[in-house]
Structure 1
Amino acid sequence: MMVVSDTTAISGLFKTGHFPLLQHFSRQILLPTAVWLELERLEQKGYDLEVLRSASWITTEAVQNIQLVAQLRHELDAGESEAIVLAIEKHADFLLIDEKDGRAKATQLG
């Protein structure tokens, strides 16, 4: 099962020490580049991201459809926009996204 994640879901689990639970949910978690960049900001707050970097079941991938990302950026932040587009491009089984507007847009786009 392939899962694409926005920043909030993964960072929330990471901050609370429940990050390993994601591995029980999916054997592959894809993070768009914008989400990884947002997660890297946690280091500035004192978090050690080595557990994320060393998790072989988490991969970062750039989106291809930058035009769709640009359209979504009018309503959503970079991480949410790229997560939606990557989920579409990879035909992901699930998209982990917390924002109501982001979920609505993802549903609208299929």
Structure 2
Amino acid sequence: MPSSALVVSDTSPLLNLALIDRLDLLRAQFPEIVVPRQVWDELTEGEEGLEALRELRDDTLLDIVEVERSDLFVEIVHELDLGETAAICYAVEHAADLVLLDERDGRRVARRHDLDVTGVIGVLLRAAKTGELDLENELDALREAGFWISDDLYSRVLSKADE
């Protein structure tokens, strides 16, 4: 059941869940996900998964917001891409409960600003713990879609699902 937490997402978790046809997990876990315009622009640059993402936006699960170039934005954009920067800035400025980020540098910056972070694997892991999916199959699908997962991380995630 979705919580009422403020959740902000970067591009990668949304795109990768779309690529493996598991955007349904977002609806199951969150009542709404804030997506900065910069992230939406990155998502709409390609065609893969776009129709499903537009459906989520039209169904109001995804709330597209404008993020201004604040001092924090200017500071962070030197380290990260526009989508990650906008997601982190919005999360900091609105005291988000969770940020969906996959890239290591983005996660590092988000944690530096005391944000709670999870990514596509975390969303899958949450669903696996409630019995909503076969985690190994979904991790394999992610890999097939081009999402890099080290063998060590793959094993650790499967172990966590069994805890």
Common fold by TM > 0.5: yes
Matched to 1:72, the amino acid is I
Secondary structure (helix, strand or coil) at the match of 1:76 reads: coil
Matches within 5 A, 1:59-78: 59-64=63-68, 66-78=70-82
**Equivalent pairs, count:** 109
Secondary structure (helix, strand or coil) at the match of 2:45 reads: helix
- How many angstroms does 1:57 deviate by? 1.8
Given the alignment of the two structures, is residue 17 of structure 1 paired with residue 21 of structure 2, yes or no?
A: yes
Give the stretch that moved more between structures: 48-57 or 74-83. Answer: 48-57
| Long gaps (5+) in structure 1 | none
Secondary structure (helix, strand or coil) at the match of 1:41 reads: coil
Which residue number corresponds to residue 106 of structure 1?
Answer: 110
Secondary structure (helix, strand or coil) at the match of 1:91 reads: coil
Matched to 2:113, the amino acid is L
From the superposition, tell whether residues 81 and 14 of structure 1 become closer, same or farther in structure 2 (CA, over 3 Å): same
From the superposition, tell whether residues 41 and 65 of structure 1 become closer, same or farther in structure 2 (CA, over 3 Å): closer
Give the stretch that moved more between structures: 49-58 or 28-37. Answer: 49-58
Matches of 2:96 and 2:54, distance apart in 1: 26
Higher relative contact order (CA 8 A, sep 6+): 1
* RMSD between superposed Cα atoms in Å: 1.7
Superimposed CA distance per residue, residues 13-66 of structure 1 (whole angstroms, 9 cap, x where no aligned partner): 0111101110111111000111000011123x5842431331212101112452
- How many angstroms does 1:90 deviate by? 1.6
Question: Out of 92, 95, 101, which is 2:99 matched to?
Answer: 95
* Identity, % of aligned positions: 37
TM-score, L = length of structure 1? 0.89
The structure with the greater share of residues assigned to strand is 1
Secondary structure (helix, strand or coil) at the match of 1:42 reads: coil
Matched to 1:63, the amino acid is V
TM-score, L = length of structure 2? 0.62
